[in-house]
Each structure stands twice: as C-alpha cells, then as structure tokens.
Amino acid sequence: MSSEKYEPLTIETLANRLVTVGDICKIVGDDKSKWKIDEVGDGNLNLVYTVSSDSGNIIVKQALPYVRLVGDSWPLPLSRSFYEHEVLVRQAKRDPGSVPEIIYFNKVQAIIAMEMLLPHVILRKKLIAGEYVGGLAQRLGKFCARTAFRGSDLSLQTADKKSDTAMFQGNLALMGITESLVFTEPYFAAEMNHHTDGLDPIVEILRSDIKMKTEAQKMLMKFTANTETLCHGDLHSGSVMCTDDETKVIDPEFGFYGPMGFDLGMLISNYLMAYFSQPAHRESKALAEYQTWILKVIEGTHEAFQHEFKSLWNSERTGILFPKSMFEDQGDSSEVALNEMLEHIWQDAVAISGIEMHRRVLSLAHNADFEEISDTKKRSQLEARNLMMGRELILNNDTIKDVSELTNMARKFNLENFL
C-alpha cells in the first residue's frame, strides 16, 4: 500500500488497499476475492476491521481524524496510531506475549494490522456475562508490574528514558482527553457530562467536596507531570481480551509517561465497577460467587503486581534510581526503599481508581457494566455505591494500606443504599 494522503478504509476499499502488503497476504492469502471483511469497531475512537480467509485472520485498526463517538466536530490527530504502535512494540518487549502481534504498520494511513485474537472476547463482556477467566489476576498483575518497572528509571538507561519521554509528550491530544474527561469534567457541569436519573444528590456530594476535588487535581498534576514510566494509559476491561484461560492487552493509544500506579489503578477501578454492577446482572448464589471472584481478582492482581515488581527490583535494577552502589554494595538492604516505592505506587493507584469510578458514571464515556442496566432506578442505586466508594478512595488514598482494605471497603459499600 502506498503512503499517499491519508484516507479512511471502507469495507469496499480495504482489500484493494491491503492486498499489496506482503506480510498481510502471508496470513490471509493474496486472493482478495476470498477475504471476508467486516467492520467491528465498538470503541469510541477508531475504525476496526476483521479480515478473514481460509488461511487466516487479521485485525486492521485505523485511526480516524476525529473522535468516532462524537463525530468530526471533535478532531483528534492520526498520530495516536503512531503512539499506539510505539507502545505495542515496547509492551511486547517488556512483557512478551501480553499484546497482539503486529503484522503491519502504516504511519501516514494510521493503520495497524494485528494478529486477530480468537476466540478472545472483551473482558468487560465476560464480566457482564458472569464468565470466569483463569489466570486473569496473575497475567495483568504481571503486565502492570513489568511495564511499570521496565519503562522506568529503575531499569532503563536514563538517556533512553529521557528521549522516549520527550517523544511521548507528543501524544498530547490523547493525554488531553484523559486530563479533561477523567480528572476534571466529573467535578463540574461540563457540557458532555450525563448521568442516570436520580443520581443528583450524589453528584452534589462529590462536587461540593473541596478536599476530594483537591485530591483529584493533585492526581491530575501527577498524571500530567510525573513521567515515571510508559503507561498503557487506558487499561480498563474494554482494553483486555480473554478466553477462559488466556488474557491479552490491547489498544494502548493513550500511552503516555505517567505514574507507575496509573494502569494498576485504572484496572482495579474497572473491576470495582464490574463488582458493583453485578446485582443487576445475576442473582442469589451466582451473584455472590461472582462478586467474590471479582474481589479475588483484584486482590490477586495486586499480589501479582507486588510479587513481580519485587522480583524485578532485585534482579533488574539497572537504572539510575536506588543504585546498588548506595545499598547492596555497602551491605545495606534496599527493602525499605522497595516498600516505600510499592506504597507510593499503591497510593497513586488508589486515587486513580476512585477518579475513574467517578468519570465512568458522570463524564462522557460510560461503562457497559452500568449502561446495560435498563432499570434506571436499580442502575442509579448501584452507581451511587460506586460513586461513594470512589470518593472514599480519593479522600483516603494515603491511608488505605493494602488491597484487602480496599476489597473490604467494596463489600461494605455493596450493602449500602445511598438513594
């Protein structure tokens, strides 16, 4: 495919445009008449096609020059496709097997062709359907730890870290979306906000909580300034695809240098939202069992994160931070430092969790976990629990000492009725 002017793919034009790419033909064959092409994008931003033939399947993702969810009134640069590709390359290196394999990338056309994950399903759908995923906690806990550690000054050479940090500052439009939609708009009457009928009293509580709003904005300052590591940037349950026992991470176009706790926190909050939404999706024993499993996934994710981070701390600490010359080489343990680092990461993760729980119910882009609940009264009651717990997480990010304190808090809020 030539690299002329950008043009969006259509079902009609895709085959002609991609049949010239050798790496694609290697998988789906070079007889384009046998390609079955479908548009399957259900996200907020991009075009996504599947291309299938007797010999194989691929996914073709193309950025649009605007936000798909809103339309061309909200332009968004195609360069996000370049950043997504750059993040995928780093994630594949830092946590092999965690992300789909890249088959082809075209910067001008903002196209990434990838391995099709089959029979994987978006994790959010599985969580709504009440399906279990073996090894989920372990896989994503490790992913968060490996990408956080190996993208930071604990591991990288500082010159590489700094040039990479500089490059990713260019993904500012995507960071801008997070800065406004996640950290700010939930806390005032922003134009694109919407929320379920009946939630007004809860919204009022949040918007009048000066201390909580201050904490949320302190976290925004960390988001925008603390370039600790290369984050996925959007690690919710819609960015994870699973079978019954395999898990892959997709869609890192929001990749940015930020707090080491960012991805972990966003992931945990999306589990919490799945947890709070469950009473609308199933009943009695199935409900209790599934909610218990979700909290176990949260605990397991955090444990896997800590375990892996500790292991990397001891085996791969080759960056400028906490050098062995200052600790081990002098006969001093660096365990105090490691524990302070884990505490710092956890504190940021807790604050981010709370904020994400707010924006997904109050800001522009909501979660299917709640959105698919047609009984609005029921929905608002469950969302209220989620919002009120989010507030606790933001307010107490510095005192919630471990993950069991967080899951116990979820059990407590799951019994409350705020409306």
* Residues whose CB falls within 8 Å of the CB of residue 239, separated by 6 or more in sequence, listed in order: 232, 249, 250, 251, 252
**Cα–Cα separations (whole angstroms), residue 53 to 115, 116, 233, 243, 253:** 13, 12, 33, 22, 28
> Does 221 interact with a copy of itself (rule: CB under 8 A)?
yes
Give the residue carrying structure tokens 């209220």: 384
Q: Choose the binding region for a copy of itself from 19-27, 49-57, 74-82, 326-334 (rule: CB under 8 A).
A: 326-334
- Counting contacts by CB under 8 A, is residue 131 touching a copy of itself? no
- Total residue length of the chain: 419
Beta strands in 255-349 (DSSP E): 256-258
Identify the residue whose tokens are 């026992």.
245
Q: Does 201 bind a copy of itself (CB under 8 A)?
A: no
What tokens appear for 222 in the block? 């960390």
Whole-number minimum distance, CB 227 to a copy of itself, in Å? Answer: 5
Cα dihedral angle (400, 406, 409, 410), rounded to 10 degrees?
Answer: 150
Q: Which residues are CB-contacts of 92 (< 8 A; sequence separation ≥ 6)?
A: 98, 99, 101, 102
Nearest approach in angstroms of CB 207 to a copy of itself is 6
Query: Whole-number minimum distance, CB 399 to a copy of itself, in Å?
Result: 14
Give SS3 for 333: coil
Contact call for residue 118 and a copy of itself (CB under 8 A): no
How many amino acids of this chain bind a copy of itself (CB under 8 A)?
A: 54
Q: Does 378 bind a copy of itself (CB under 8 A)?
A: no
Shorter beta-carbon distance to a copy of itself: residue 121 or 190:
190
Closest CA to 53 of 94, 84, 14: 14
Judged by CB under 8 A, does residue 130 bind a copy of itself?
no
Comparing CB distances to a copy of itself, the nearer of 324 and 412 is 324
Look up tokens 């940090």; give the residue.
165
Question: What does DSSP say about strands 229-231 and 240-242: parallel, antiparallel, or unpaired?
Answer: unpaired
Q: Which of 26, 34, 36, 162 contacts a copy of itself by CB under 8 A?
A: 162
**Contact status: 165 vs a copy of itself (CB under 8 A):** yes
Q: Does 211 participate in binding a copy of itself (rule CB under 8 A)?
A: yes
Tokens of 260: 């080491």
Number of Cβ within a 10 Å radius of residue 92: 15
Examine residue 163 and tell whether it contacts a copy of itself (CB under 8 A): yes
- Residue 417 in the binding site for a copy of itself (CB under 8 A): no
Q: Does 191 bind a copy of itself (CB under 8 A)?
A: no
CB 184 within 8 A of CB 175: no
Near a copy of itself by CB under 8 A: residue from 5, 188, 284, 374: 188
Residue 207 touching a copy of itself (CB under 8 A) = yes
Nearer to a copy of itself, 180 or 311 (CB): 180
Q: Binding of a copy of itself at residue 13 (CB under 8 A)?
A: no
Is there binding between residue 321 and a copy of itself (CB under 8 A)? yes
- Measured between alpha carbons, how far is residue 226 from residues 260, 282, 330, 348 in Å? 9, 41, 30, 11
Interface with a copy of itself, residue 220, by CB under 8 A: yes
Specify the residue, 283 or 398, whose C-beta has the smaller distance to a copy of itself. Answer: 398
Angle at which helices 403-413 and 335-362 pack, to 10 degrees?
30
Please identify, among the stretches 42-50, 130-138, 158-166, 388-396, the one whose residues bind a copy of itself according to the rule CB under 8 A. Answer: 158-166
According to CB under 8 A, which one of 57, 217, 243, 311 is a site residue for a copy of itself? 217
Gap between the Cα atoms of 152 and 146, Å rounded: 10
The answer to whether the beta carbons of residues 227 and 257 sit under 8 Å apart is yes
Site for a copy of itself in 95-114 (CB under 8 A): none
Interface with a copy of itself (CB under 8 A): 152-153, 158-159, 161-163, 165-167, 169-170, 172, 175-176, 179-180, 184, 187-188, 190, 207-208, 210-211, 213-214, 217-218, 220-221, 224-228, 257, 320-323, 325-327, 329-330, 332-334, 336-337, 340-341, 344
